[in-house]
Structure 1
Amino acid sequence: MFKLLLIEDDASLFQEIKDRLLSWSYDIYGISDFSEVLQEFTAIKPDLVIIDIQLPKFDGFHWCRMIRSHSNVPILFLSSRDHPSDIVMSMQLGADDFIQKPFHFDVLIAKIQAILRRVYNYNTDQIELKTWYGAAIDYQKNTVTNDAGTVELTKNEMFILKHLIEQKNKIVSRESLIKSLWDDERFVSDNTLTVNVNRLRKKLDALGLGHFIETKVGQGYMAVEKAEPL
């Protein structure tokens, strides 16, 4: 049974979501003290965090940042705020997805199931270690290592890198990546993929590898295998 931490201060909405998710056999936890979210997260050790932006004490962005500093657990934002900057900020902080309130419960379930499949099952039949342009990529630990050091990726970032290097020197369309990542492209914005790829590139830059993920305008992305260093 997966453990889900629902960080929502609206008691009636929390109970409604909890009851619906319990019917899907998820184990649901809430927050008792909104000034101690990180401590409660650490004690619960959830498999997925669902968090609102507007919370008492500190907002959801603050707690997403704090959780990301300690864990790569998948994070799903659930918020009535719909400004594009809120969605972009969520992704830049390492969130896996964003749902705007009010929402259809079937969409929430689809998002949760897609994230859990992607995070906990996607690499079960894959080799755990691969090399790309002199770097060791560990699918199990979500790390990329070369002589310059090691960077840790989120599950989304590793999933994107994995798909690109498995088709090295070939263009992978944006539509293909979106469908592979989120199972159903109707539920995700095109901008979300852009943010994730840019975040992946920024991390790879620390190893001198960021420019080997090339953008093919109007087509998609390509991981270069034998490009000359710039």
Structure 2
Amino acid sequence: MFSILIVEDDLKLAQLLQTHLEKYGYRAEVLREFDRVIERFESVRPDLVLLDVQLPYYDGYYWCRRIREVSNCPVLFISARDGKMEQIMALEHGADDYLAKPFDYEWVMAKIKSQLRRAYGSYAPGRQERIVECAGLALYPERLELTLAGRAVELSHKEGLLIEALMDNSSKVVSRDWLLDKLWDGQPIVDDNTLTVNVTRIRKKLAELGIEEALETVRGAGYRLRPIWRTQP
């Protein structure tokens, strides 16, 4: 049974979400101590977090960053703020999706199922771990880790999908439309900039591995990952 932590200071909304989640067979915990989000997170160890932006003490962006220090579990923001900048900020701080209030509860359940499927659906007893390789760069999709020459960085779920698509098509131009469909499974997204945000995050992760300027923006076409690092000493 998947467990979900609800970090929402509107108690009525939090309880409604809890009721719907439990109806679908999830174990749902409602957090009530908003100065102890990380402590509660580490105690519950949820498979997914529903996180409001406006919270007492610190906002949801802060807590999302803190969660990303210890976990790659899916984080879905739920907020009455529906502006483009708020949603871009959520992605930049490590969120996997953003749901603006008021929302349809069935749509929320569909989003949760989709994120859980992406995060954990590849696991199966006795299954060999999958590895995607490109010129010495190795991606471990199930554990969301990217490695090169003994160095490793952790990825979010969207980052993992994006770098896998680029590695699978190494040296080829991959269109923005194709990547948008790959990352969001044909679902409408808020703004085309959400892909740009994730590309920027991938560039930073590659830089941590010592890979610079390998991920190109091809104006009017898309992106290309050139394995130039294999020629470097």
State if a TM-score over 0.5 links the two structures. yes
Which residue number corresponds to residue 210 of structure 2? 208
Match runs of 1:172-183 below 5 Å: 172-183=174-185
1:6 aligns with 2:6: yes
Cα contact 1:22–1:28 (8 A) shared by 2: yes
Secondary structure of the corresponding residue to residue 76 of structure 2: strand
Deviation at 1:148, TM superposition (A): 7.4
Cα contact 1:135–1:146 (8 A) shared by 2: yes
CA distance in 2 between counterparts of 1:40 and 1:95 reads: 19
Secondary structure of the corresponding residue to residue 76 of structure 1: strand
When residues 149 and 130 of structure 1 are mapped into structure 2, their CA distance, relative to the original with a 3 A threshold, is: same
* TM-score normalised by length of structure 2: 0.89
Letter in 1 for 2:26: Y
Which residue number corresponds to residue 67 of structure 1? 67
Letter in 1 for 2:78: L
CA distance in 2 between counterparts of 1:202 and 1:126 reads: 29
Cα contact 2:64–2:93 (8 A) shared by 1: yes
Cα contact 1:111–1:182 (8 A) shared by 2: no
Q: Which runs of 4+ in 1 moved over 3 A?
A: 122-127, 225-229
Of 124, 132, 136, 1:134 maps to 136
Which residue number corresponds to residue 51 of structure 2? 51
Cα contact 1:203–1:210 (8 A) shared by 2: no
Q: Which moved more, 1:153-162 or 1:123-132?
A: 123-132
Deviation string for 1:80-111 (max 9, x for gaps)? 01232211211111100111111122321221
Which residue number corresponds to residue 145 of structure 1? 147
Deviation at 1:183, TM superposition (A): 1.8
Match runs of 1:111-126 below 5 Å: 111-122=111-122
Alignment gaps of 5+ in structure 1: none
Deviation at 1:193, TM superposition (A): 1.4
Secondary structure of the corresponding residue to residue 165 of structure 1: helix
Which residue number corresponds to residue 79 of structure 2? 79
Q: Which moved more, 1:172-181 or 1:2-11?
A: 172-181
CA distance in 1 between counterparts of 2:107 and 2:205 reads: 31
Deviation string for 1:134-185 (max 9, x for gaps)? 3232233322222373222122111111111112222222222222222233
Letter in 2 for 1:94: G
Q: In percent, how many aligned pairs have the same letter?
A: 39
When residues 122 and 184 of structure 1 are mapped into structure 2, their CA distance, relative to the original with a 3 A threshold, is: farther
When residues 70 and 127 of structure 1 are mapped into structure 2, their CA distance, relative to the original with a 3 A threshold, is: closer
Deviation at 1:16, TM superposition (A): 1.3
Deviation at 1:6, TM superposition (A): 0.8
Secondary structure of the corresponding residue to residue 5 of structure 1: strand
Cα contact 2:122–2:142 (8 A) shared by 1: no
* TM-score normalised by length of structure 1: 0.90
CA distance in 2 between counterparts of 1:134 and 1:21 reads: 42
